[in-house]
Amino acid sequence: MKKIATLVLLMFTIISNAQDTIVEPEDTTQNPTILGDLTTKKGPWEIGLSGFIEADVIIDNKKNAFVDGFMPSYIQSNKTDYSSHASIRQSQVGLKFGNTDLDLSVYFEIDFIGADNKTAPRFRKGYITYKNWKIGQDWSTNADMNTWPNIFDFNGPNGSIGVRRMQIRYTKEVNAKHQYSFALEDPDIPSITVPDDSLGWKMKPVLPNVIATYRYGGETYIRGALTLNPISYDKRYTTKEDFHTETMLGYALNLSSVIKTGKKSKLILQTMYGKGANTITLAFGGEGYDAVPDLNDHNNLKMLPYQMGIVAYEHWWNDKWSSVAYYNYSKIGKEKYMTEGMTKSIQHAALNLVYNPTSYIRMGIEGNYGFTTRYQVENKLEAFRLQISTAICF
C-alpha cells in the first residue's frame, strides 16, 4: 500500500494545463490493471492503473504549428520544408479508484502534451462517477467516442466532435439497445471574435451548455446529440456607456453511426450541422468561430454556420493486422461575415496499416493528407504527414 500511496501522490503533484481541445481516442478507463485493494466498512475498494506508452516518429513536408496531431488549419506555409521529430508525448496514464458495492469510482488521467510542443505532464481527465451520475472533466457529452477508428494520429478527423469539458452528466441505459444522456457543461465554452475597436467587448460566461443524446442499437447503432450553446458577451458603443450583456443561442445537431461489417471490421459515419457552436469541433475549438462581428451592423456579433461529414472504414485483415481509411470534410462561415484569411473549409484523409502482435502491443504506419481553403485567398494550404508508431498498453 505504501507504493500505491506514493504513486497516487506523484500523480496528483504533476497536474498542469487543465483544459485542451486536442483529442485522443483511447478510452483507458474500462479495464485497468488492478494494483491493489483495500477493504473498508463500505466494502472493497480497488485501485487500478491503465494507459499506454507510445513512441512516435513523425515526418512532415510542410510547417505545422501543432506537431503531435495533424491539423490542416494549422499549416503555416505552402513552402515545402521537411521536418521530423520523435516523442512519447502521446502516452497516457490513468488511475482509477472504485467500489462496486457503492457503485462509486474516481478516475484521473494525464498525458505528456505540454505547452509549446514540450514533453510535460498534462491533466486530461478527472471525474467522479456515482451510479448514473458523472461530475468532473471528461469527454464532452456530445462526442461519440465509439466512432473513433483504430488510428495513430493524436487528433484524427479534424471535423470530429471530441473535446474535454467540466460537466455534470446523467446517463441511463434503458436496456441493451436504448441509452440516453443529459448534461450541463462548462459555460466558458463559447469562442468568439470581437471587433478591433470594440471598446473592451468580451465574452462573458453566464449559462452552461445543455446537451442531450440518444443511442439506439447494439454493436451496430445510431446516435444523435443536440447541443445548445448560449453565447453571452458584454458590449458598449462609447466609453461613457456601461457594458450591457447580449446573449445568443448557438446549437449543433450531430448524428453518428457504427455499422458492423465483420467480426471486427466496421463502417463509421458521422455528420453535424450547427450555428454558433463550432468550438465543440476539433478543427475550430477556441479559434473564435462561434460568432464574429458584422461590419455592416454596428459590429454586432453574428453566429457562424458549420457543417461536416466523416466516413471511415476500419478493416481487419485477420486477428493481428488491420487498416483504417477515412475522409473528412468541414465547412464554416458565411461570406459576408468573414474577413481575409479566415478558414473556409478543411478536407482531410488518412490511411494506415496496424499490426497487433499481442493485445498489449500496437505498431504501424499512417499517412495523413489535408488542405485548407480560406476566404478571399485563392491558394489553399496543403500538407502531408507520415507517422510511424509503437504503443505498449497496460
pLDDT, tens digit (0-9, with 9 covering 90-100), for 176-205: 999 999 999 999 989 999 888 778 888 999
Q: What are phi and psi of 336, to 5 degrees?
A: -70, -15
Q: What are phi and psi of 146, to 5 degrees?
A: -70, -10
Residue 67 belongs to domain spanning:
61-83+132-393
- The answer to whether 82 and 383 are in contact (CB under 8 A) is no
- 188, part of any domain: yes
- 170, part of any domain: yes
pLDDT value for 200:
84
Which stretch of DSSP H or E encloses residue 3?
Answer: helix 2-13
Beta bridge partners of 292: 302
Which residue type does 145 have?
M
Is the pLDDT score of 61 beyond 90?
yes
Q: CA 113, 119, 122 angle in degrees (round to 5)? A: 40
| 3-class SS of residue 188 | coil
- 13, part of any domain: no
Is the pLDDT score of 4 beyond 50?
no
pLDDT value for 365:
98
- 225, part of any domain: yes
Q: Residue 308 has which C-alpha cell? A: 461536416
- 298, part of any domain: yes
Q: CA 387, 142, 91 angle in degrees (round to 5)? A: 30
Average pLDDT over residues 158-168: 91
| 3-class SS of residue 337 | helix
Q: pTM value? A: 0.87
Is the pLDDT score of 1 beyond 50?
no
The Cα–Cα gap between 366 and 322 comes to 12
Domain count, the chain: 1
Is the pLDDT score of 316 beyond 50?
yes
pLDDT value for 30:
57
Q: CA 161, 163, 165 angle in degrees (round to 5)? A: 135
pLDDT value for 23:
36
Q: Give how far Cα 200 sits from Cα of 47, 149, 195, Å.
A: 49, 43, 9
Is the pLDDT score of 252 beyond 60?
yes
Give the pLDDT band (50/70/90) at residue 24. very low
The Cα–Cα gap between 105 and 29 comes to 11
Average pLDDT over residues 71-90: 92
| CATH number for 145 | 2.40.160
Which stretch of DSSP H or E encloses residue 4?
Answer: helix 2-13
Q: Which residues are CB-contacts of 5 (< 8 A; sequence separation ≥ 6)?
A: none
- 196, part of any domain: yes
* Mean pLDDT over each residue of the chain, to the nearest integer: 89
- 116, part of any domain: no
Q: CA 4, 10, 11 angle in degrees (round to 5)? A: 90
pLDDT value for 39:
57
* Region of residue 187 (phi > 0: left; psi between -120 and 50: alpha; otherwise: beta): alpha
pLDDT value for 239:
84
Average pLDDT over residues 228-249: 92
The Cα–Cα gap between 331 and 329 comes to 7
The Cα–Cα gap between 353 and 332 comes to 32
Is the pLDDT score of 20 beyond 50?
no
Strand 361-374 to strand 377-393: parallel, antiparallel, or no bridges (unpaired)?
A: antiparallel
- 53, part of any domain: no
